[in-house]
Amino acid sequence: MTLALASRSLRQAFVAIAWALAAASLQAAPQPLEAFFQNQAFTRARLSPTGRHVAVGVTPKGGRTQLVVLETGTLKAKAIASPKDADIYQFEWVNDDRLVFNVVSMETPQGENFLGPGLYAVQRDGTDFRQLVDRFQPWVREMGEAKLLDFFTELHATTRNKDSDAVFVTHAQFNADHDFYNYQLLRLDTRTGRATPQSSPGFVNEWLVDQNDVPRVAVTAEKASAALRGLDRASGKWESLMEFDRFTGGGMEPVGFAPDGTLFVTARPGRDKRALYRFDLATRQLENEPLVTLPDNDFEGELLQDAKQLLGVRFLADAKSTVWFDARMKEVQARVDKLLPATVNLIDPPVRPEVPFVLVQAYSDVDPGRFLLFDTASGKLTEVGSVQREIDARQMAPMDLVRYPARDGLRIPAWLTVPKGGKGRKLPLVVMVHGGPWVREEWEWRADTQFLASRGYAVLEPEFRGSTGWGYSHFRKSFKQWGLAMQDDIADAARWAIAQGIADPERICIAGASYGGYATLMGLVRDPDLFKCGVAWAGVSDIGLKYDVNWSDTPAEYRAYGMPVLIGDQKQDADQLKATSPLQQAARIKQPLLLAHGSSDRRVPIVHGVRLRDAVAKTNPNIEWVEYKDEGHGWKLVPNRIDFWTRVEKFLQKNIGGSSPQ
């Protein structure tokens, strides 16, 4: 059976509701800047296997994130882990009585952080606490009768055995040049701390464990090659299922095993877009017809299941959505959607239900999200907590997915957010370019977008060629097109907004981080008539520097085999890389520029920002530079986020003159 799903899904139904909510609060003063850039009040939630408890990450105002367990029937709560020098980050249920979690310090910038996330286990009542992974030394250290695994070890998956206290963890291994080359898979007993290595087919980038808690599928990678490999249960040997290019895509990607042992993968045989397929490990064949296809997007998602059957599939089109195969869950979804008509409602059922509760995460473009419990017996919906406690959804601006033609005819998706009361007017526009560049955005609340809209700016975020999730052709057209066709797509987005009457042609600014910072700088170089100013942070300023700077986390194999194909060969394409280098073309940047970088950025080291700043300053006095000490690739600390966006607000007001909604 093939289920072809419309990618317009839920989003269009919500746009009208969101506009109605926005219209109802036109007279309200915009929310303060600080409200947009706080850490999350509720970071995540996980329902226990029986559904009797829910674990949540809770951040008291001004405090550290704690791990709290609530009884679903009574909402009686108990904080079971409250670190004083760190914040609870990821956590999962091992079984109905035990959890594992790791930590991160949201108050420590990257340059001052010398600790790993660790891994800890604890009973849901707070007893039997054990540290499993060292946060300090990169080697196994004796600790009593057990050992702590080194800090390159992280949680991979929990087991499906309801009586097991074990989890699977991956141990990252590095070569003499400190480049990652392999994930070793270990089965770890969370009570004793003892870890058992699992059989491996080579240098593994990704693992998949089957319904019987046996590692059955792995993706291996070495140099430019990758392969999907499967474990033959009879012989105990790993066999190659498919080989493909590591960096240019095209291979099967494992998704998960269903309770009956069926393996699901994504693939695109003869198709532009990935779909979800069943894969027969015995015959090494895809089923002829996919289970789920999306007309406008590659399938990207997960299986939803209980201990007995596959219940449904969650996927990302323009927004996240769920298709349920189970009739009861279809009915539960319909009841929740009726109670919460203005949000995407993602429902997680318990694996072995003993009570009638399901967990709901509700969010939209104007709502950062809430966690709720739904009692399927009584129909009662109870809120557990809000992701951002200070955000008023009624004051946020709706986001819509539009499409515009690039100059070569390619249809480009883009996210358009127009401030309240701004429809039909020539508005100051910020063209926001995402990083990556081989990633994508989605329909959801975003702090930077909503902040700019609250200050009177329209925000247009193009999914330029190379953005993933929109089909292989859209991705393939980006090869060696940094600063060229990819840049044309971004300029064409701004010109489309002018033609639609959305943007004032005299008040357009371009902005972005990482690759988005690169595109911002190249936009100022190539289209000075269009972009009146630019804001670039953590931005790439020269492709040559990406090859040459050693103090970077860019892997050597990516530089050797990925970048020459995707971006350009440093020798063969030298003239092109020079022509598309903001650093080499710095004298052409005449517009006002706000430039920011973290001193400890390893993804795009600060040399990119410093050299660009110095080169532009020779011919352009309208450059503002800010360096955030010890920050990495983005701003981890709340005070730095507030400082940066305060600067952005002043910079935009000065150069393209936004205004608060009236």
Residue 586 has what pLDDT? 98
Query: Residue 318: phi, psi to the nearest 5?
Result: -85, -40
Whether the pLDDT of residue 149 is over 60: the answer is yes
pLDDT digits (tens, 9 = 90+) for 567-582: 999 999 999 999 999 9
**What's residue 20's pLDDT?**
45
Gap between the Cα atoms of 631 and 651, Å rounded: 22
- Average pLDDT in the chain: 92
Instruction: Tell me the CA end-to-end span of the chain in Å, nearest whole number.
Output: 52
Domain 397-655 has CATH 3.40.50.720: no
Q: What is the mean pLDDT of residues 591-616?
A: 97
Predicted local confidence at residue 176, as pLDDT: 82
- pLDDT per residue as tens digits for the range 505-540: 999 999 999 999 999 999 999 999 999 999 999 999
In which band, very low, low, confident or very high, does the pLDDT at 650 lie, cut at 50, 70 and 90? very high
Average pLDDT over residues 174-178: 83
| pLDDT in the model for residue 5 | 52
How far is 218 from 605, CA to CA, in rounded Å? 32
Helix (H) or strand (E) holding 649: helix 638-655
pLDDT of res. 202: 93
The pLDDT tens digits of the residues spanning 390-437 come to 999 999 999 999 999 999 999 999 999 999 877 768 999 999 999 999
User: What is the rounded (10 degree) CA torsion for 450, 452, 456, 459?
Assistant: -80
- 18 — pLDDT class (breaks 50, 70, 90): very low
Query: Distance between CA atoms of 397 and 347, rounded to whole angstroms?
Result: 25
Binning pLDDT at 50, 70 and 90, where does residue 177 land? confident
> Is the predicted pLDDT of residue 9 greater than 50, yes or no?
no
Which pLDDT score, from 0 to 100, does residue 251 have?
86
Structural domain boundaries of the chain? 1-30+252-312, 201-245, 397-655
For residue 540, what pLDDT is reported? 97
* Cβ(536)–Cβ(553) below 8 Å: no
pTM, entire model: 0.93
Lowest model confidence (mean pLDDT) among 13-27, 132-146, 491-505? 13-27
- Asked if the bond preceding 437 is cis, omega within 30° of 0, the reply is yes
Q: Above 50 in pLDDT, residue 22?
A: no
pLDDT of residue 544: 94
In this predicted structure, what is the pLDDT of residue 140?
45
Q: Please report where in the chains the tokens 């200070």 appear, as a residue.
A: 390
Q: What is the DSSP letter of 111?
A: G
pLDDT at residue 26 tops 60: no
Chain segment 187-246, per-residue pLDDT in tens: 999 999 999 999 999 999 999 999 999 999 999 999 999 999 999 988 999 999 999 999
Of the candidates 233, 271, 227, the residue with the CA atom closest to the CA atom of residue 253: 227
